[in-house]
Amino acid sequence: MDKKIIYMDHAATTYTAKEVVEAMIPYFSDEFGNPSSVYSIGQSNKKVLDLARKQAASAINAQPDEIFFTNGGTESDNWALKGAAFANERKGKHIITTSIEHHAVLHSCEWLASRGFEITYLPVDKFGMVSPESVEKAIRQDTILISVMYANNEVGTIQPIAEIGKIARKHGICFHTDAVQAVGHVPIDVVSENIDLLSLSGHKLYGPKGIGALYIRKGTRIQSFMHGGAQERKRRAGTENVPGIVGLGAAIERAVTHLPEEMDRLTDLRNELTRELLKIPATHLNGHPTKRLPNNTNIIFEYIEGESVLLLLNMKGICASTGSACNSASLEPSHVLTAMGIPHEIAHGSIRLTIGERTTAEDVKIVTAALKETVEKLRAMSPLTPKELKNVQ
């Protein structure tokens, strides 16, 4: 590849960091033993699983035996929702979640609804924020689970998790958060935030794909999701993905070590990117102006289609997205933007840019200039563009 690629889609996935790959490599070949075996190459692998469990636990202030490895964020969400629902169904069948969750949560809820559970989808305000009061109001005698994502994958809004956790604890209701976009990106403390279940994933924090974890606070009622062998203390059967788990542990430790500086650096770059893009006329920021992930900006350009912007950016070697990677095959506007009250016609003009470790100030300049040019070009061709906007150069 001779053309430089500028990657601004870290919320969709990240590359695996070089040190992380290096930490994983021995476990594909020389250190291939099954952690359940008695001989030493198996037993030594059990030790590395324990190390990864420690690394993951300490990043969120959990205990190592509260970490259960899964094959990623989707599995963790499915396990949390379905496992907690069925473990508590004698107490009640009501679940509270939000209208802006990732599809791993929303579709699990839909499936649970088909099995007799009742789901309340809380609305969000124009910034994509859930109000803790609305959570408390939605609680009923038969509420058994509250699931609110830590930070939204499309617009980056960070939810008032500590306040919601406090409410859940006060009412004795299990509280799950999908923290896939947040772990390794912002500080998290499952103890002070009263989180009972938390989903995380490797490939959103410079770890490998196909590996994740579910944090289960000690004493939380949850059924097993995978049945088979006695792995993960009989709660998640299947021979452990040892290289993946080693990579996940290394990636999490690496992310939290750099966290404060990297948050500051990304916030500055992101603010610069947002500021420059908002200079383009008829442009708006989606999501909360300050309570958002340091690496996320999401902008609406009125009168044009986000998909067309992406194709033109791609020709310039710039990778971005219209929101969730899972939505790009459908013509429906994003459920997140719709829930925020953004009209369909303009929701289609939104672009998500998520920067990362390798993003530089120079990249921000190049992307800003490319977007200005692209938006002008598309607006010049669009019959929807008002005349006065076509003449700005």
Cβ burial 94-125 (10 Å sphere, 16+ → b, else e)? bbbbbbbbbebbbebbeebeeeebebbbbebe
Residue 314 DSSP SS3:
helix
Query: Smallest distance from the beta carbon of 273 to ligand PLP, in angstroms?
Result: 20
Q: Which of 178, 193, 253, 302 binds ligand PLP (CB under 6 A)?
A: 178
Has 239 been labeled as part of a binding site? yes
Of 91 and 103, the one with the shorter C-beta distance to ligand PLP is 103
Query: Smallest distance from the beta carbon of 73 to ligand PLP, in angstroms?
Result: 2
Q: For residue 184, what are its two tokens?
A: 């390794």
Q: Is 231 in the site for ligand PLP (CB under 6 A)?
A: no
Query: Smallest distance from the beta carbon of 288 to ligand PLP, in angstroms?
Result: 16
Q: Is 323 in the site for ligand PLP (CB under 6 A)?
A: no
Q: For residue 165, what are its two tokens?
A: 């956790």
Q: What are the CA-CA distances from residue 393 to residues 282, 351, 370, 371 (Å)?
A: 14, 21, 14, 13
Of 149 and 280, the one with the shorter C-beta distance to ligand PLP is 149
Q: Is 148 in the site for ligand PLP (CB under 6 A)?
A: no
Q: Is 185 in the site for ligand PLP (CB under 6 A)?
A: no
Has 249 been labeled as part of a binding site? no
Question: Which region, judged by CB under 6 A, interacts with ligand PLP, from 16-24, 70-78, 219-227, 279-287?
Answer: 70-78
Residue 231 DSSP SS3:
helix
Of 77 and 253, the one with the shorter C-beta distance to ligand PLP is 77
Query: Smallest distance from the beta carbon of 183 to ligand PLP, in angstroms?
Result: 10
Q: Is 376 in the site for ligand PLP (CB under 6 A)?
A: no
Cβ burial 32-47 (10 Å sphere, 16+ → b, else e)? ebbbeeeeeebeebee
Alpha helices (runs of H) in 280-386, residue ranges in sequence order: 306-315, 335-339, 344-347, 361-381
Bridge partner residues of 350 (DSSP): 300
Q: Which of 104, 216, 255, 389 binds ligand PLP (CB under 6 A)?
A: 104
Q: Is 73 in the site for ligand PLP (CB under 6 A)?
A: yes
Q: Is 70 in the site for ligand PLP (CB under 6 A)?
A: no
Has 153 been labeled as part of a binding site? yes
Q: Is 322 in the site for ligand PLP (CB under 6 A)?
A: no
Q: What are the CA-CA distances from residue 37 to residues 29, 164, 307 (Å)?
A: 16, 43, 51
Has 344 been labeled as part of a binding site? no
Has 319 been labeled as part of a binding site? no
Q: Is 157 in the site for ligand PLP (CB under 6 A)?
A: no
Has 203 been labeled as part of a binding site? yes
Catalytic residue status for 319: no
φ, ψ for residue 319 (rounded to 5)? -100, 120
Q: Which of 74, 157, 298, 368 binds ligand PLP (CB under 6 A)?
A: 74
Give the whole-angstrom CA distance, residue 174 versus residue 190: 13
Q: Is 184 in the site for ligand PLP (CB under 6 A)?
A: no
Q: Which of 94, 176, 204, 292 binds ligand PLP (CB under 6 A)?
A: 204
Q: What share of the chain is helix, strand, coil (3-state, %, to 5)?
A: 45, 15, 40
Stretch (H or E) spanning 67:
strand 67-70
Has 181 been labeled as part of a binding site? yes
Has 177 been labeled as part of a binding site? no
Structure-derived torsion over alpha carbons of residues 83, 49, 180, 123, reported in degrees to the nearest 10: 20
Closest C-alpha to 195, from 252, 234, 150:
150
Annotated binding-site residues for pyridoxal 5'-phosphate read 73-74, 153, 181, 201-203, 239
Active site residues: 326
Binding site for ligand PLP (CB under 6 A): 72-74, 77, 102, 104, 149, 153, 178, 180-181, 201, 203-204, 212
